[in-house]
Amino acid sequence: MIFQYFWIALAILVVGFVVSMFRILREYERGVIFMLGRYHKVKGPGLILVIPVIQQMVKVDLRVRVLDVPSQDVISRDNVSVKVNAVLYFRVVDPERAVINVEDFYDATSQLSQTTLRSVLGKHELDEMLASRDELNRDIQEILDEQTDPWGIKVTNVEIKHVDLDEDMVRVIARQAEAERVRRAKVIHANGEKEASEVLLDAARTLSAQPQALQLRYLQTLTEVANDRTTTVVFPLPMDMIDSFLKKD
């Protein structure tokens, strides 16, 4: 009776051992296999064979991961303190290096992204942070991609989400924007005055060169004044017009 129980237990053990040898990996998963502690190969996807005790498998997900970079305190090049957060997209392209070369590639990438964000943005002024985000995103992405390459990580995209300012700085920026709008209005007005003076100068030169044209303009002005609702009109008579009349006599 004891032997029967022994053989039944042994059969269950053997079946369990055989079943545990088979693993199924999805299309986006890979298994890094270690043989007695040494790297053996990368397997998957599909049905793979892992010998218990002798072999160990570390499963790696190859899909793009989204990493939310926590808000970082950054001092810009013009000494303005801001809080900046970003989002990072990356994926594992080499499962072997992602497992062997770094203890936890996700945490390592997160810490590296925080320090890189502070380092890159600290080299730029506040206006550049607000107006040149695309360029800053590319700079951060290139630096992270280069530094994570030994880990088998590919950083596909970086996006700065928010640049938060304190209330005092927001008011300063608002006053600066208002002053800029006033400056532009004054420049536009000054350019209009300049163009008008140039046109008037050209007209004066034309009239001075043609006395008859000046007389016609004078008569036109008298006609416009006469059409107004006025009872008495006093106007000067140009001497050149009197001279023209005297010459005719």
pLDDT tens for 57-101 read 999 999 999 999 999 988 888 888 889 999 999 999 999 999 999
Does some domain include residue 10?
no
42 lies in the same domain as 69: no
pLDDT tens for 17-38 read 777 789 899 999 999 999 999 9
**Residue 245 and residue 240: Cα distance in Å, rounded?**
9
Does some domain include residue 100?
yes
106 lies in the same domain as 56: no
93 lies in the same domain as 155: yes
pLDDT, greater one: 120 or 130: 120
51 lies in the same domain as 129: no
Last residue in a domain, options 165, 190, 214: 165
Q: What is the pLDDT of residue 17?
A: 72
How many domains does the chain contain in total? 3
Does some domain include residue 26?
yes
CB 95 within 8 A of CB 32: yes
69 lies in the same domain as 41: no
- Those residues whose C-beta lies under 8 Å from the C-beta of residue 154, and which sit 6 or more positions away, are 90, 91, 92, 93, 145, 148
150 lies in the same domain as 101: yes
Query: For the residues 187-213, what does the mean pLDDT come to?
Result: 74
Closest CA to 100 of 35, 32, 48, 165: 32
Query: For the residues 137-151, what does the mean pLDDT come to?
Result: 94
Q: What is the pLDDT of residue 4?
A: 72
Average pLDDT, the chain: 82
Does some domain include residue 142?
yes
72 lies in the same domain as 50: no
Burial of 30 (0-12, 13-18, 19+ CB in 10 A): buried
Closest CA to 91 of 115, 67, 62, 118: 62
What is the domain extent for residue 139?
Answer: 65-165
Cβ-count burial 201-227 (b if 16+ within 10 Å, e if not): eeeeeebeeeeeebeeebeeeeeeeee
Q: How many CA atoms lie within 13 A of 139 on its CB side?
A: 17
Does some domain include residue 6?
no
Does some domain include residue 190?
yes
72 lies in the same domain as 142: yes
SS3 42: strand
pLDDT tens for 146-175 read 999 999 999 999 999 888 887 666 566 666
